[in-house]
Structure 1
């Protein structure tokens, strides 16, 4: 399935309208079934769907990790993901019931975060990763170069997992949480350690994005945008370094100053 489509639009420019073709991001509903029980429908970008399913189920505490999942069967034509699991956290699966998660995340996504995130309040990150400002600028430059679909459509979020040397995984999605779940799922499947890695993110660092970074086990998050006040407070509690407004040769360090040199 195409992740981008072409649509006719009427553009107003220099005082007149003209008809042109414009690229828009595809919005795709994926319904996840775990052991034949419907769990959730996620509106997402239709690529790296298995990574999304594994990352979502693990980060939301439905399963403990890839070892609990026997198989993931993606049926693209009908928008279904059939998951066979040998272990399911019954509490987390039961209280949620059926949910519909929109691409803007909104209230339905908050329902998924409320209880499972409470356990993170006192989970501090012990990452020893340190980054120089020069390395941050280089990583952000490469991140921007890898964001082709965003530049083409303006309608997706981008995320990446990186070491001090280079970007390891890049993922994009119309949903900001989905992009991070795709990163998490890929790292889990590959057995990639994350405690010595950083997250690069295209949007603002909200409290939800900060929590997702903590779930990934990363001690640093980098963004072109800014964090919220609550995200900064949570970052200080969880020992996460937040760096925002990375543009040109400028950046702001909001928390965890000791990791940036």
Structure 2
């Protein structure tokens, strides 16, 4: 349905997938019975070659892209690493990402820390190191495009509209949404997108990342390391997220509702054409 409304969308949520939600009966504020659907959560254990890396709670769609994107965003699979296979076992709820040469990730595991993110919220020390010397392209961000994207994303059928309790992330180019992913954790949704981009060799320098989640330090770091110069959210900011965005020259726009928004970093990219 959404691809008919927005032909540019290559990947869209599937709220009709029975695996992603479960029917539940309850009562409302008057005591009357109500039927609704709630989002499912499933564990997914990610392996890099023979090493178990992490178990994430996820809705269960696109497990291969989630695993690949997570490892890429954590710096455990680098741009020069050759991915030789991704094996998903639905019964065992595991994904194994295989590379041509064993990667040195034990040190990264030793430095793992827990962040404020929900679901997969681990960030490694060398993610910050990866920001050193990073230069993002001066891709313009038009205000008219922000208005178009807000309208397009709000009209796209989604699990959020069906059941709530979920985050969404959309890769956009100008006024056009390209790929829209959802999950119980905002980091999961971003990792699915990163995996899709790596798998399809999708360029990042001319894109905008839209998210429904908070603009935290980890969201800013992941967006910058993916090479996407503009990060937009309908939610708010954290101070460290803004500080890091300003350090790396990332444009961050938050509290976007309708035609209103606030830009706290990289306003030189914004073109006020409305």
**Match of 2:11?**
none
- Given that 1:103 and 1:174 are in contact with CA atoms closer than 8 Å, whether structure 2 keeps it comes out as no
Distance 1:227 1:103 in 2: 13
- Given that 1:30 and 1:79 are in contact with CA atoms closer than 8 Å, whether structure 2 keeps it comes out as yes
Q: Quick one: structure 1 residues 175 and 102, their matched pair in 2 at CA, closer, same or farther if it must change by over 3 Å? A: farther
Distance 1:40 1:234 in 2: 26
Unaligned 5+ segments in structure 2 are: 1-17
**Match of 1:216?**
226
- Given that 2:128 and 2:221 are in contact with CA atoms closer than 8 Å, whether structure 1 keeps it comes out as no
**Match of 2:136?**
126
**Match of 1:115?**
125
Which stretch has the larger CA shift, 145-154 or 251-260?
145-154
Instruction: Provide the secondary structure at the position in 1 that maps to 2:54.
Output: strand
Distance 1:147 1:158 in 2: 11
Distance 1:198 1:63 in 2: 23
Distance 1:179 1:82 in 2: 19
**Match of 1:228?**
238
Which of the numbers 58, 64, 74 marks the counterpart of 1:50? 64
- Given that 1:122 and 1:237 are in contact with CA atoms closer than 8 Å, whether structure 2 keeps it comes out as no
Alignment of structure 1 residues 1-261 onto 2, 5 Å: 2-12=19-29, 16-65=30-79, 67-90=81-104, 92-96=105-109, 105=118, 109=121, 112-146=122-156, 148-261=158-271
CA shift at 1:225, angstroms?
1.1
Unaligned 5+ segments in structure 1 are: none
Which stretch has the larger CA shift, 25-34 or 143-152?
143-152
Q: Normalising by the residue count of structure 1, what TM-score does the alignment of the two structures yield? A: 0.89
CA shift at 1:150, angstroms?
0.6
CA shift at 1:60, angstroms?
1.1
CA shift at 1:103, angstroms?
11
* Equivalences, count: 253
CA shift at 1:105, angstroms?
2.7
Q: Quick one: structure 1 residues 118 and 214, their matched pair in 2 at CA, closer, same or farther if it must change by over 3 Å? A: same
CA shift at 1:130, angstroms?
0.8
Distance 1:223 1:131 in 2: 14
Larger helix percent: 1
Which stretch has the larger CA shift, 128-137 or 170-179?
128-137
CA shift at 1:186, angstroms?
0.4
